[in-house]
């Protein structure tokens, strides 16, 4: 069928169309039709048909990819479904447009501190360089991204997570939204059992299993990867029997389920504090509290969440009010009951010690050298924080370190090791960044690596990201000038940011590091190995060795990613040796 624009073009007496031979014009028409056909591509999912569009790469590569944005994978978790596991999206008739991203889930913007989002937010985006045609299906490996944000903010949208770099390496990329804050992680008895946000991720992975072949993806080659809270989410999914078979490789960047911020107490107390802060004056009955909270606008819940933090929360350097929990509601007979399939029913450390995790999944994980540079943001908000820590340095003791009776001695040991004779002040910020990087990130990541390598049946790879370049994300967003690689900075070397229009020299180190990161991550998704020996690759000049199960305690190998790629042993050796000693001495086990 001819469009109005085409008719207008061909009817003009001086049109180029009128002057060209009819045979040539038929060729032109076919070309235009093919562009139009490619620009709007329709795929059929199990629930209905979806129209996406073709767009060119914004990152310099030739060609482009197919983009399907705002695909609903779950029904809106509203009304009685608030605080419960979401249900799959129902089937539809006709063709749904997938040219625009869906709502992000309700949250407060990290930088602007403004409310954003809508509860009808269970959307995902699919990006692919090839779609099935006729009998041809490219069956490319699939990478499913779980965004970070402390379980409190963010989305999977292209503003931060542009697909250009990864999709150019012939993988299908899926990004998604999941519920955040109290809407995603409030617990209050059987009708709000917790982990709604993690169950959203699980539902999205089921959608990928059932539908990704229609987009050129292979449902039997799925890699789930994430950063920060998304990284610990990846690990919690690996610890849950509910995710079995939904993914086949896993990557955790700068986060672990064993980090002190990754798991909270399963308690209705925070829910009752939230309700009280928002005007509730009824009984302590959990059902009454939930009925009240279900009637409030989402914005009220999000804005009221920080007020549920206690002095102890701040003292433990957490500051995240609603996070994943071990599920389980105990009734009056002291029996554990569940009103929906629980995602995790034991503490992660116990699951690892009892070897209850998915052992056959290749795992890649690591950290950035100055993760806790985020600490500067807290300092800006509370200029007295350094003074508070100086007067209460015991708050630096990890919660899981058994220091009963020796608290003062342990406090002195930690202070002496990191600060020497310095006080906590502007002159010791670097030392505090090192301490918080170890306690809040690296210690848990190393423990995870040790458990997976020692007890798993699949290769485990560890990295240290040490390249301080122009594509560092969080440092730029937070306006940090000091040297070092901040939490989140590695993402600029995997994703194209919508708001970073940097014209980098193609020969710059940033482009080289970006190309290497993308190649190693997509190699892992394709082969379960970031530097496969059978692939001749001029980009990668170093073989990234998996960790030997026999050397996890004293000879931990890792890839140091900077301007060069170097395989090294024992990251931050002296600092981690200190913590191994502390845990062995006080807990009886360095693991």
**Mind telling me the catalytic residues?**
228, 371, 487
CA distance 418 to 368: 19
**By the 8 A CB rule, do 488 and 480 touch?**
no
The CA-atom distances, in angstroms, between 473 and each of 114, 116, 476, 479, 561 are 20, 21, 6, 10, 16
> 191 CB contacts (<8 Å, ≥6 apart)?
83, 84, 286, 287, 290, 339
- The candidate with the shortest Cα–Cα distance to 569, out of 579, 560, 578, is 560
3-state SS, residue 210: helix
CA distance 322 to 151: 7
382 Ramachandran zone, left/alpha/beta (phi>0; psi -120 to 50):
beta
| CB-neighbour burial class of residue 155 (10 A; exposed 0-12, middle 13-18, buried 19+) | buried
CA distance 566 to 581: 27
Q: Which residues pair with 560 in a beta bridge?
A: 464, 566
CA distance 70 to 226: 20
DSSP string covering 434-487? HHHHIIIIIHHHHHHHHHHHHH-SS-EEEEEE----TT-HHHHHHT--SSS-BT
Indicate the helix (H) or strand (E) that contains 573: helix 573-587
> 446 CB contacts (<8 Å, ≥6 apart)?
556, 571, 576
| CB-neighbour burial class of residue 251 (10 A; exposed 0-12, middle 13-18, buried 19+) | buried
State how beta strands 460-465 and 557-561 pair: parallel
SS3 content of the chain, % helix, strand, coil (to 5): 40, 15, 45
User: Which segments within 188-299 are labelled E, that is strand?
Assistant: 217-227, 249-253
CA distance 152 to 149: 6
Which token pair is 294? 């279900």
């Amino acid at each position: 069928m001819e469009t109005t624009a085409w008719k207008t073009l061909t009817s003009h007496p001086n049109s180029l169309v009128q002057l060209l031979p009819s045979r040539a014009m038929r060729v032109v028409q076919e070309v235009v039709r093919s562009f139009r056909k490619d620009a709007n591509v329709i795929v059929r999912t199990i629930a209905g048909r979806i129209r996406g569009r073709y767009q060119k790469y914004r990152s310099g590569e030739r060609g482009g990819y197919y983009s399907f944005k705002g695909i609903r994978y779950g029904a809106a978790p509203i009304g009685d479904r608030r605080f419960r596991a979401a249900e799959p999206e129902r089937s539809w008739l006709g063709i749904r447009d997938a040219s625009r991203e869906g709502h992000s889930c309700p949250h407060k913007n990290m930088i602007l501190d403004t409310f954003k989002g809508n509860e009808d937010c269970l959307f995902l985006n699919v990006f692919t360089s090839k779609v099935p045609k006729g009998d041809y299906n490219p069956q490319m490996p699939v990478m499913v991204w779980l965004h970070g944000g402390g379980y409190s903010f963010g989305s999977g949208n292209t503003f931060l997570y542009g697909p250009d770099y990864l999709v150019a390496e012939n993988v299908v990329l899926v990004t998604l939204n999941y519920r955040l804050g109290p809407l995603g992680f409030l617990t209050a008895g059987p009708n709000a059992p917790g982990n709604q946000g993690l169950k959203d991720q699980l539902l999205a992975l089921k959608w990928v299993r059932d539908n990704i072949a229609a987009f050129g993806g292979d449902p039997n080659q799925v890699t789930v990867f994430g950063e920060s809270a998304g990284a610990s989410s990846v690990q919690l999914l690996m610890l849950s029997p509910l995710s079995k078979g939904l993914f086949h490789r896993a990557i955790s960047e700068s986060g672990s389920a064993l980090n002190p911020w990754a798991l909270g107490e399963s308690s209705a107390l925070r829910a009752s504090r939230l309700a009280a802060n928002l005007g509730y004056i009824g009984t302590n009955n959990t059902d009454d509290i939930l009925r009240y909270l279900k009637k409030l606008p989402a914005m009220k819940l999000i804005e009221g969440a920080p007020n549920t933090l206690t002095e102890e929360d701040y003292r433990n350097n957490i500051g995240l009010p609603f996070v994943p929990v071990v599920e389980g509601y105990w009734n009056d007979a002291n029996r554990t009951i569940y009103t929906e399939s629980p995602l995790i029913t034991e503490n992660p450390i116990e699951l690892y010690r009892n070897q209850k995790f998915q052992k056959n999944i290749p795992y890649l994980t690591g950290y950035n050298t100055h993760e806790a540079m985020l600490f500067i943001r807290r300092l800006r908000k509370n200029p007295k924080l350094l003074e508070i820590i100086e007067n209460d340095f015991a708050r630096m003791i990890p919660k899981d370190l058994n220091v009963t009776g020796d608290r003062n001695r342990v406090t002195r040991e930690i202070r002496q090791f990191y600060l020497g004779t310095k006080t906590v002040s502007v002159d010791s910020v670097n030392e505090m960044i090192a301490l918080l990087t170890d306690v809040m990130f690296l210690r848990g990541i190393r423990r995870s690596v040790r458990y997976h390598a020692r007890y798993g049946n699949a290769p485990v790879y560890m990295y240290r990201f040490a390249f301080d370049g122009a594509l560092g994300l969080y440092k730029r967003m937070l306006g940090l000038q000091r040297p070092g690689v901040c939490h989140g900075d590695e993402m600029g070397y995997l994703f194209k940011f919508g708001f970073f229009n940097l014209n980098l020299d193609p020969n710059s180190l940033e482009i080289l590091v970006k190309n290497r990161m993308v190649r190693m991550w997509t190699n892992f998704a394709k082969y379960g190995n970031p530097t496969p020996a059978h692939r001749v690759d001029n980009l990668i000049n170093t073989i990234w060795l998996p960790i030997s199960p026999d050397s996890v305690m004293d000879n931990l190998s890792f890839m140091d990613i900077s301007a060069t790629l170097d395989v090294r042993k024992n990251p931050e050796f002296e600092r981690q040796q200190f913590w191994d000693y502390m845990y062995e001495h006080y807990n009886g086990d360095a693991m």
